[in-house]
Amino acid sequence: MKIILASASERRHELMKRVVDEFEVVVSDFDENSVKFHGDFSKYVMELSRGKAENVAFKEGKDSIIVGCDTIVAHRGKVMGKPKDEKDAYNMLKALSGDVHQVFSGITIINTESHNILSDSVCTYVKFSEIDSEEILKYIATSEPMDKAGAYGIQGYGGIFVEEIKGCYYNVVGLPINRLKTMLKNFNYI
């Protein structure tokens, strides 16, 4: 059976290579706005990851293992997705400054042959140091924050803001590879 990663993210592509040797990439066109947040971050990211995986499973048909993933930043009870524009990125980073937030990723695996579906989520706690407006503006000028949940990439320049982390580092990057490996093993996919 072929394994398919349902993601356009280059970061996820790179991390997936650490878990499985051969896989294909099929970008999901699932409408993330169709899933409403009702207060449970874990459930929310699992619903998003399932939507992405089901979207690709529908396209790909039989004999595939589909892996869908979605990552959000949670801060003070609210979801921080990707910033809409530079002002939104600035406001997100200002809110995260000097505070703790959580990064949630949902993973869904679908076996299109057996119709088995497994979903799980991972949470990592991240503490930012105090960052001033000049640092935020300089970071936004790199364009790095614009395609990342919470407006930062821990694996890039945004890592300089991270004072402390509790949990899976790779979850913050966008794909908790240890959890994915365990899920794939439990279903005898690897």
Asked which of 29-33, 136-140, 185-189 is least confident by mean pLDDT, the reply is: 185-189
Average pLDDT over every residue of 17-37: 94
SS (H, E, C) the chain: CEEEECCCCHHHHHHHCCCCCCCEECCCCCCHHHCCCCCCHHHHHHHHHHHHHHHHHHHHCCCEEEEEEEEEEEECCEEECCCCCHHHHHHHHHHHCCCEEEEEEEEEEEECCCCCEEEEEEEEEEEECCCCHHHHHHHHCCCHHHHCHHHCCCCCHHHHHEEEEECCHHHHHCCCHHHHHHHHHHCCCC
pTM recorded for the entire structure: 0.94
How many Å apart are CA 41 and CA 20, to the nearest integer?
A: 28
Q: What is the pLDDT of residue 1?
A: 85
- Over the chain, what is the mean pLDDT? 95
Q: What is the pLDDT of residue 52?
A: 97
The one catalytic residue in 31, 70, 88, 99 is: 70
Domain of residue 102, residue span = 2-186
Q: Is the pLDDT of residue 60 over 90?
A: no
How many Å apart are CA 157 and CA 176, to the nearest integer?
A: 20
Q: What is the CATH number of the domain that holds 36?
A: 3.90.950.10
70 catalytic? Reply is yes
Q: Using an 8 Å Cβ cutoff, are 21 and 183 in contact?
A: no
Q: What is the pLDDT of residue 187?
A: 79
Please report which confidence band the pLDDT of residue 38 belongs to, taking 50, 70 and 90 as the band edges.
very high
Q: Is the pLDDT of residue 61 over 80?
A: no
